[in-house]
A and B are shown apart, each in its own frame.
Chain A
Amino acid sequence: MNKQDKNPGNNRENLIKLENAGLTAEEQQLFCDAVPVPYEPYSLEFVERFHNWIRANSLWVLAFGTGCGAIELNPLMTSRFDANRFGVMMRPTPRQASVLIVAGYSSVKTLKRIIRSYEQMQGPKFVIGLGICTINGGMYYDSYNTINCLDRYIPVDLYITGCMPRPEALLAGFMELKRKIKAGECDGANRYVKDFDWYKANQKKVIKKWDMPDYNW
């Protein structure tokens, strides 16, 4: 994904504080306005590789059924397919989760919640786009309320196509995600911070009721 050419002048260096213009003056004091910074990998390479291996084998998925794809997550987590075998677990709170599954189409209203959840997750964090509708809109390409390309709003590490993707496809997707994490290719959280302005501009173009802080710590 080559985004640098689309990025209209990254002026992060000049930026000290987020504006949080969507909030009222009273609320602005309640929220953090620090600009997110990318995290550094461990300085020793073998430590980083070790941690990547650990991360790959302990994937905590945020239990957030954003769309119809959530219906295939139930068989995935239960006895027929049992993703627990591979260290995939559901966590009910974004603070503790490391994988966000965007299950199918996301309407604009849900996208706002997806962004909030994603920003509250602690890095390294990974995003799986599930279903064709996250890739290019799929069946809802002309719907006025669903976004078409998910990776314009949050960085996506892996897409699983299909409508619906079967649980086997999801398992294969998790395996592929593990491979990518082990290889150190999943740096979505850092990409998000680096291209912060581009992502925010895209998000604000779609979400018209922006009554939340610019970055949800």
Chain B
Amino acid sequence: MNWALSIFYYIVTVLVVLVYGLLLYAFIAKTMARVQGRIGIPIYQPFLDIIQTYGRRTAVTHGYMFDLGPVFRLTGGLGTLAFIPVIYGSEIFGNFHFAGDLLLVMYFIFFGQLGMALGAGESGHPYAPMGIARGLAQMTAFEVPFALAVIAVFMQYETASITEIVAAQQGSIYNWTLFTNPFAVLAAMFAFLGMSMYPPFDLVTAPNEIPIGPPTEYHSAYLSLLQTNRAIFAGAKLVLFMNLFFGGATNLPIMVLKTWAIYMIPVLIGVAFPRFKVENSIRFFLGVPTLVGIIAVLYMQYWGTV
């Protein structure tokens, strides 16, 4: 394939995922509002918010790392998306998949957070390092079940290519990892709760404790970048989970439906739970989810049938 065309297709994918991520965000906000008995924001509100922050006429910087923080964050989001085939078999939404892309994606998921940590650390606000410490600690914890789940998936499909993993799940609903390797999916969904930053795992932006954590000092166009990244990154994560565990998608409506359904899990847990403390959160992830992850690996080792 022509590389220029492939980059063009990638840009199209990013835009589609961005729009979809923002719509999803608004839709989730509306869902939460309905649980709380409200009407909630209009469905186009996230778009307005991004343009509004972008359209601020003044900005204050705290140094080079502060400037680079949102850039790193966005790079993390874009990089994650770049190696995930959004729609299986589609030329436009196929992205730059290659044999070992899952490993690279796992790296990119955490790249953004580390970059953000450097940037927010320079902002000088005491809540920012506090939020970063919490975020990194929790991230280290939920990475364990997630890594175990991904290892189990590696063992199951004997490949590290997302496209091949999706290909192996085609045909019937019973080919999904959800049914062939339920323990891995369970462990990964636990990790997804931690990744998606809804209660009880919204430690990083806990509004009553360290309002709103690392991005406390980010404003104007910086914040606009962060908001963009949030949408892209959420979309990329959802697509990754859909590809690995829920059979991928062969067209756009299926993708929308599946990712929305996956996202509803942390949201519905989120509206009904208080927040963990950071030590509770770490203890939680290193407990049952890790155990389930280990079981998933053992299951694949001894009883796995592919």
Interface residues of A (CB under 8 A from B): 39-41, 51, 54-55, 57-58, 60, 63, 78-79, 82, 84-85, 87, 89, 91-93, 95-96, 98, 122-124, 189, 217
Contacts and interface: CB of A to CB of B under 8 A. Distances in A.
A92 B56 contact: no
Most buried by A among B41, B207, B212: B41
A93 B216 contact: yes
B51 interface: yes
Interface string B47-80: 0110111011111100000000000000000000
A7 B48 CA distance: 38
Contact of A122 (B39, B42, B219): B219
Most buried by B among A79, A122, A189: A122
Contact of B38 (A55, A79, A93): A79
Nearest to B40: A84
Contact of B51 (A40, A54, A95, A122): A54
Contacts of B211: 63, 92-93
A122 B56 contact: yes
Contact of A87 (B45, B59, B212): B45
Interface residues of B, number: 30
21 contacts: A39-B57, A41-B57, A51-B55, A54-B51, A55-B52, A57-B52, A82-B33, A82-B38, A82-B39, A84-B33, A85-B38, A85-B42, A87-B48, A93-B211, A93-B217, A95-B60, A95-B216, A96-B53, A96-B218, A96-B219, A122-B57
Most buried by B among A39, A51, A84, A189: A84
Contact of A95 (B33, B52, B217): B217
A40 B215 CA distance: 26
Contact of A84 (B41, B216, B217, B218): B41
Contacts of A85: 38-42
Interface in B21-52: 33, 36-42, 45, 48-49, 51-52
Given A58-B45, A82-B38, A92-B211, A123 B216 contact: no
Contacts of B59: 122
B223 interface: yes
Contacts of B58: 39, 122-123, 189
A35 to B, nearest CB: 13
Interface in B5-34: 33
Contact of A124 (B37, B48, B57, B212): B57
Given A82-B40, A98-B56, A217-B60, 8 more contacts: A39-B57, A60-B52, A85-B39, A87-B48, A95-B217, A96-B53, A96-B215, A123-B58
B60 A87 contact: no
Given A93-B211, A122-B56, A123-B56, A84 B38 contact: yes
Contacts of A96: 53, 215, 218-219, 223
A79 B48 CA distance: 22
Contacts of B45: 57-58, 87
Contacts of B180: none
B279 to A, nearest CB: 24
A79 B36 contact: yes
Contacts of B218: 95-96
A123 B57 contact: yes
Contacts of B36: 78-79
A127 to B, nearest CB: 16
A87 B51 contact: no
A96 to B, nearest CB: 5
Closest 9 CB pairs of A and B: A92-B211, A39-B57, A79-B37, A58-B52, A95-B219, A51-B55, A58-B48, A79-B38, A82-B38
Contacts of B60: 95, 122, 217
Contact of A54 (B33, B52, B57, B220): B52
